[in-house]
Structures are given as C-alpha cells and as structure tokens.
Amino acid sequence: MSDAASGAATPVLEIDNLHVSYFTRAGEIPAVIDFSLKLEQGEAVGLVGESGCGKSTVAMAIMQYMGANGGVVGGSIKFKGRDLGAMSQEELRRLRGSEIAMIYQEPMAALNPSLTLGRQLMEVPLYHEEVSEAEAYERARQMLSDVRLPDPERVMAAYPHQISGGQQQRVVIAMALLSSPSLLLLDEPTTALDVTVEAGIVKLIAEISKKFGTSMLYISHNLGLILETCDRVCVMYSGEVVEESEVKTVFASPRHPYTHGLFGCIPVPTADKNLRPLVAIPGQLPLPHERPQGCNFGPRCQHFRAGRCDDHDIRMSEITHPSPDHRVRCLRWDELAEDEIATEATEHEPLEPGEPVLVIDEMQKYYPVYDRSIKALLSGQAVRYVKANERLNFDARRGETVAIVGESGCGKSTFAKVLMGLETATEGAITFNGQEISQRPIDSRSAEEIGSLQMVFQNPNDTLNPSLTVGRQIARVIRKFGAESNSETIRARVMELLDLVKLPRDFADRRPRQLSGGQKQRVGIARAFAGNPAMVVADEPVSALDVSVQAAVTDLLMDIQRRYRTTLLFISHDLSVVRYLADRVVVMYLGQIMERGPTAAVFSPPYHPYTEALLSAVPIADTSIEKREIVLEGNLPSVLDPPKGCPFATRCPRKVGTICDEERPPEQQAGPDHMIACHISLAELSLVEPVIQMVKDGEPKPVDPQYG
C-alpha cells in the first residue's frame, strides 16, 4: 500500500552503508560490506553476482532474519522511512508477509508438506487483516487464478507434492502477493525450474508487478534474466557492490573490470569458440575470511596498480557521463581505456571433423515397469514400458563437438548410460570406433575400450571420492586403463594430467574437500582424459558452476579437444553454452529426436516448434539482441503413456490438428545434414521469423559473430 500523499518522495527501500557479518567459531566473517541501495516505488532492481557475493544475505538482512549467528554490524535499512533494525519483533512480524514478501529458490522446499495449499495461502490474509475464513478462501482462490493456475479449487485442496514445480512456484508467488506487499524480494525464483517453465514464471512476475505497482528486488546469477526483468542492476562481488546503474547502461558499457570480465564469460549469441572465444577471469574468488586489502577484485584484475588499489577500502565513485546515475567501485575507472591489457583470447583455427567415431542407428531403450496391483494382473497388463529413448539416429565425427539438448525427462541421461555401458540398449545399434557396443555392458568391454570412451559428470561435489587424495584417484584410473603399470611412470602421468587441466602439481596430495567446485571439475576432466579417449561424454559438466568458472572449464575442454582431436558429446539444457561450443546439435524431447543438424542451421529458421520455444525461453545477456516471445502452456506428458503421435503435440503452439496427436511426424530434410521431425511442411517452417535477431543501426540482422 503506497503512501499516496508523499508520492515518490519516500523510497520504498533505502539501504545505507550496510554491513552484515556471520559469527562462527572461526571468528567474524563479513558477508556484506558497504551496501547501499535506494528502491523507488514500482521499480525493479536486480542484484547480480556469483556464489558467495552476499546477495542472498542482503535479502535476509532486509527481512531481519539472519539466523542465530548472523547480524547487521553497521549501516541501516529503512523501509518506507522506518528503520527496520530498530523495530521490535512484533512490528517486524506485522511487516513480513504483508508489506514485504519473499519468493524462494526451491518452491517445493518452501511449502509445508503437511498442510494443504489452501490453508497455507489463507494464513496470509487471516493473520494480517481482519477477515473471515470464507473471505480468506475467496481471496486465495482468486489469487490462484490471477497467477494462471488452472482449476484453483483443486489446488486449494491439494498438498504441495501433488502439483508440478512450476505450479508450486506460482503458488509461492500467489502467497507472496496476497496482501499486496509494497516490496517483493525474489531469491533466484527460477533457478530450480526447467527453461520453458522459467519463461512463464518470469512473464508472470513482470505482469503482476506492473499490475500491483510492487517494487522488486530480484536476486539472480543469470545476467540475461536481469536484463529482461529489471530497471536497474547492482553487480556484487565478494560482499560488495562493484557497479550499479540502469540496466541498459551496465550491459552496453560496463565500467568495472569485474563486470567487464563477467560479460566476457557469458556465451552470448555473438560469441564463437573459434573466432571470438570466451575469456575466463583469471584467479579464484577469495575466501570470505581472506579478503585482500583494498579492492576485493584486485588480485584478479588486469588493471591492478600496486600501491593504489590495495591501499585502503575503496568507495563507490559516481560516473557522470555518458549516462547519469551510474556508480562504480573502482579508483581508476576513468583511466581504464588507456591501459594496455594483454590481448583478448587468441582466435583458433576450427577443427576439421574426421571420420565418424560414433554411429547411433535406430536405438531404443525401454524400461519395463511392473504394475503389481491386482487389477493389472487380472487384466493381463502387468508390464508397461517407459520409453526413455525412441528411434535415436545420429553420428559424431572425430574432433567434433555434438551437443544433446533437452529439458528434464527428455532421455539424455538414459542415452548416456547406454553409451557408457551402464545399461544395454533394447533395440538398435551403437557403433563406436568400429565396434558394436549397444549390447555390451561395461563388464564385457576391454580396458582399452573403456579407456577410449569416458565421461565427465555433472555435480562437481560428487564427482570425486571424498576419502581419497586427488593423485590416488587419477592414478587408479591410469592403472585401470592399462596405460601404465609402473608406479614411477604412473606418477609422471598423473603430473602430466594435472598440468593438462591447469592445476598445480601439489594438488595430487590434496583431498577433494580442499578443492573448489571448478577445481574438482578439472580433476574430473583429468580423470576422463587419463586413457587418451577417442570420445568423451560430458553430462552437464558446467551447469553447477559459477558463470566465471564455467567459462574457464569450458575453455579448458575446448583446449584439450583441440590438442587431442577428441570427439566431445556434450549433454546440456543450457542453450547458450551449446550454441557456443557445439558443431552439431541434437534436440530431444520425451525420448525422441525433434531436430538435428549443424548448430547454425538448428539455431536459425526453419525451426522445429520445440527448438523455437527453447530458443525463446533462454534469457540473453546482450542488449543488442531482440527476442521473440513464445510461452508454452500445458504439461509434459507422462513417459509411461507417451502420445501416439508427436510427443510435443500437447504443448505445441504451432499444432496443426489431430494429425499431430495420432501420427508420428515424418523426418524432413531441411539441409544436407539438417533433420526436422514435424508435420508442418518445410516451406512453411522456413517462412518463420528468426527467434533471435540483432538490432544494428535500427535494422534487425541475423546473428553472426563477425558482426559482434
């Protein structure tokens, strides 16, 4: 409820010089340092940064809920002119949920599993306003339909686990908006959701905040998302804001070296792994209790000047031109352009692909599901099949990077398992290096064969055995692949591999818990390459890493691939990374291939409707790109009962008619190597406007790295 009389005079949120620390056995650890922000009514500010930068702590500090061992040690937070730190618990309680509301990262965890959703929603008006039960019910129900949930009555009576992740997040949003708060705190609201679901939620949040005039503090690590949703942005690094201004300003002309570096790490459509590769930020994030003197970013900054930058704490400086209201925490912001920095990453010659190393021919993987209920036994239908992979056809050539793209449930992990020998294919053939391996599980493969086809795993924290040292784990792999058998030579090879992944040699004696996420992933890569593999399957190898670390690890993979001409099978849901490093792309949906072909062909028209929707859903951190908006309605069909026709028919915005539900779509050749499985004719599909276009000189142009 805004203070209509004073209009825009009082900012909704005014944070001044905030310092927040955690008090642990090891002493005081500062989490947020010198944070200032002014948020006007109706404004949306994004708080961007990598892990450990303190952005979530800011949100908790606003709510005055930092846990038993955290506390505000300096500065003030004023909400509509009132100092939050000076309020009593009772006053805070009245504000929470009614004037200041929060939306969380994991919606399933944020909802009480033992209470109905209706109950949880109704609590908000019941406790904050004097309403009756009936009125609270009606308000909650109305809000559920405002957030576009079908069948609100059913949702009111349901428990959290009975609805999907996207629907749960909508309920959380409804819960936050029920008392028309003035300030909405969003803590990574879409990180845990699939890309196409994310798009819907983002759109919803934008609509709602316009409708209610709510101010928003949007916390995310995804720069593209912030570009789409916010008016202003604060970039944080290691507890401090390093740059703050209007969104377009920061994106078009970042002034802080960290922001600049961050943009260099993000795979935007104009990046290209050979012509304009990503540039990783050198060095490591400092540990919270080991921050350097002076500028926190100093040790990693190419513009660092000893004596000046590490002398004393740096304050924010105002940049007055070209755009007002732009602040940066850098002593030398106006001198940076004159610095001679090391040249940006070198261009590379693209690798020429060789002979096919992997050929997948009509591969199928079905999992039997036994229905042990009495009904099933009687009707004779005791066994049903989960059709995890259906009619897969593609190949990968030597030195190439082939990406498999799809959201959760598309079957890409199953495919990886069959390839690696953890499962055997139900039908079809997989030929690797000339050998047919679809029916050969891992224990029937020779050490050489195993060493020739290895995998890099997704979760860096789980990829290494916590009880053994790094060196011993790599050595074991070397020994197992029969590459070396003498301890001396094995030791030498371990060192070689550590050099290959750019880790210091003394890491061989460290245990995994002493390594950071990115470092652990590098060890995982070293392990995969220990046997000189012909092909490496990388299953979401960078999804769990911070943006700047992602760039470094991706860079490393490309480097090694160039050196050894290894074939890389890259599985991911992140289209930006895929566009950056894949030569060819395979798009999967519910176990089937929807489209496949060279990257440039797949990412421009003609598109398969699903590819089109995926492309439109991915946020892009580039102000010169315009993107068409396509939002998918409906839910993923169940894998036990896939539709007879096209699996995408239940959600396809371009659905032609009942033919899509009944008949399998034909494989149409849109180019020499480009296949689209769709009922719509190629001629029609080619006429579709590109999803992503660059806007240069006012004219839309196709995206091309040369123009970047």
Partner 1 sequence: MLVFIAKRLAYMAATMVAVSILVFLLLEISPGNVATKVLGPYSSEEQRQIWLEKNGYNRPFYIRYGEWLGRFVTGDLGVSTRFKVPVNDILWNRVANTGLLALAVFVVMVPLSLTLGVLAGMKEGSLQDRAITVIGIVFTSVPEFASAVLVATLFVFWLGILPGTSGMSDGFSLAEMILPVMVLVLYDFGYVARMTRASMAEVMTTPYIRTAVLKGLPYRTVIMRHALRNALIAPFTVIMLQLNWLLSGVIVVEFFFSYKGFGALLLEASLNQDIFVIEACAMVAVFVAVASQALSDIGYTYLNPRIRFS
Partner 2 sequence: MTEIAQPLPKREPLPLRLLKSLALLRESGVGMIGAGLVLFWVVVAIFAPWIAPFSPTATLQPMMPPLSPAESGGVFLLGTDHIGRDILSRVIYGSRTVLIYAPLATFCAYIVGIVMGLWAGYRGGWLDDVLSFLANIILSFPVLVLYVVIIATIGASGTNVLIAITFASAPGIMRIVRGLTLDIKTRDYVAAAQTRGESTWWILLVEILPNARGPLIVDACLRLGYVTITIGVLGFLGLGLPPPTPDWGGMVNETRRMATIFPWMSVFPCVAISSLVLGLNLMADGLREISLRD
For residue 460, is the peptide bond before it cis, meaning its omega torsion is within 30 degrees of 0? Answer: no
Of 345, 349, 204, give the one whose Cα is nearest residue 280: 345
102 binding partner 1? (CB under 8 A): yes
> Which residues ranging from 166 to 205 are in contact with partner 1 (CB under 8 A)?
172, 175
Number of residues that bind partner 2 (CB under 8 A): 35
**Per CB under 8 A, 147 contacts partner 1:** no
Measured from the CB atom, is 154 or 505 closer to partner 2?
505
Told to check if 481 binds partner 2 by CB under 8 A, we report yes
Structure tokens at 610: 């699903």
Please identify, using beta-carbon distances, which residue of 162 and 532 lies nearer to partner 1.
162
Task: Please tell me whether residue 454 binds partner 2 under the rule CB under 8 A.
Answer: yes
Q: Does 522 bind partner 2 (CB under 8 A)?
A: no
Note whether 372 and 332 are within 8 A (CB): no
Of 98 and 245, CB closest to partner 1: 98
Residues with Cβ within 8 Å of residue 187, at least 6 apart in sequence: 56, 59, 102, 103, 104, 105, 219
From 156-164, 267-275, 475-483, 650-658, give the range in contact with partner 2 by CB under 8 A. 475-483
From 21-29, 106-114, 198-206, 256-264, give the range in contact with partner 1 by CB under 8 A: 106-114
Which residues have CB under 8 Å from 162's CB, separation 6+?
none
Single out the residue of 19, 96, 348, 391 in contact with partner 1 (rule: CB under 8 A).
96
Nearest to 291 by CA among 107, 486, 31: 31
Helix (H) / strand (E) element for 450: namely helix 447-452
CB nearer partner 1, residue 65 or residue 707: 65
For 255, which DSSP code?
-
Closest approach of Cβ 373 to partner 2, in Å? 19
Please tell me whether residue 455 binds partner 2 under the rule CB under 8 A: yes
Binders of partner 1: how many residues, by CB under 8 A?
30
HSE-CB at 310 with a 13 A cutoff on CA atoms is: 13
Tokens of 73: 């040690």
Per CB under 8 A, which region of 132-140, 144-152, 178-186, 415-423 contacts partner 2? 415-423
Indicate whether 104 belongs to the interface with partner 1 (CB under 8 A): yes
Alpha carbon 558 to its chain centroid, in Å, reads 20
CB of 216 to partner 1, least distance (A): 16
User: Which entry of partner 2, partner 1, none binds 480, CB below 5 to 8 A by partner kind?
Assistant: partner 2
142 phi-psi bin (left φ>0, alpha ψ -120 to 50, beta other): alpha
Question: Of 466, 657, 666, 698, which lies in the binding site for partner 2, with binding defined by CB under 8 A?
Answer: 466
Contacts of 398 (CB under 8 A, 6+ apart): 353, 354, 355, 356, 357, 534, 565, 567
Binding residue (CB under 8 A) for partner 1 from 41, 57, 98, 426: 98
Burial class (CB in 10 A: 0-12, 13-18, 19+), 523: buried
Of partner 1, partner 2, none, which one sits near residue 115, judging by CB under 5 to 8 A according to partner kind? partner 1
CB of 398 to partner 2, least distance (A): 21
C-alpha span between 620 and 259 (Å, rounded)? 16
144 sits near partner 1 (criterion: CB under 8 A) = no
Residue 177 CB, nearest distance to partner 2 (Å)? 37
Per-residue burial over 102-134, b = 16 or more CB atoms within 10 Å of its CB, e = otherwise: bbbbbbbebbeeeebbbbbbbbbbbebeeeeee
Residue partners of 75: CB distance under 8 A and separation at least 6: 15, 16, 17, 18, 19, 34, 35, 36
Helix, coil or strand: residue 207: helix
Size (the chain), residues: 708
110 is a site residue for partner 1 (CB under 8 A): yes
Asked if 485 touches partner 2 (CB under 8 A), the answer is no
Nearer to partner 1, 175 or 590 (CB): 175
Q: Is 371 in the site for partner 1 (CB under 8 A)?
A: no
Contact 386, 365 (CB under 8 A): no
Residue 459 interacts with partner 2 (CB under 8 A)? Answer: yes
Q: How far apart are CA 600 and CA 350, in angstroms?
A: 15
Nearest one of 184, 174, 191 to 105, comparing CA atoms: 191
685 binds, among partner 1, partner 2, none (CB under 5 to 8 A by kind): none
Q: Which of 313, 462, 629, 704 binds partner 2 (CB under 8 A)?
A: 462
Burial class (CB in 10 A: 0-12, 13-18, 19+), 683: exposed
Contact call for residue 97 and partner 1 (CB under 8 A): yes
How is residue 193 written in tokens? 């959701």
Tokens 């642990």 — which residue? 24
From the number of C-beta atoms within 10 Å of its C-beta (0-12, 13-18, 19+), residue 486 rates as exposed
Residue closer to partner 2 by CB (options 131, 468) is 468
Task: Candidates 280, 450, 588, 646: give the one binding partner 2 (CB under 8 A).
Answer: 450
Query: 708: exposed, middle or buried (C-beta count within 10 Å: 0-12, 13-18, 19+)?
Result: middle
- CA dihedral sign, ordered 532, 535, 541, 542: positive
Find the binding residues for partner 2 in span 429-448 (CB under 8 A): 442-443, 445, 447
Shortest distance, position 180 Cβ to partner 1, whole Å: 14
Q: Which residue has the tokens 């030569």?
A: 583
**Least distance (Å) between residue 478 CB and partner 2:** 10
Interaction between residue 68 and partner 1 (CB under 8 A):
yes
Which of partner 1, partner 2, none does residue 95 bind (CB under 5 to 8 Å by kind)? partner 1
User: Which of the choices partner 1, partner 2, none does residue 109 contact, using the CB cut-off of 5 to 8 A by kind?
Assistant: partner 1
The interface partner of residue 112, options being partner 2, partner 1, none and the CB cut-off 5 to 8 Å by kind, is partner 1
Which residues contribute to the site for partner 1 (CB under 8 A)? 63, 65, 68, 93-98, 101-102, 104, 106, 109-115, 123-124, 127-128, 159, 161-162, 172, 175, 373
Which residues contribute to the site for partner 2 (CB under 8 A)? 420-422, 442-443, 445, 447, 450-451, 454-455, 457-459, 462-468, 477, 480-481, 495, 499, 502-506, 508-509, 524, 527
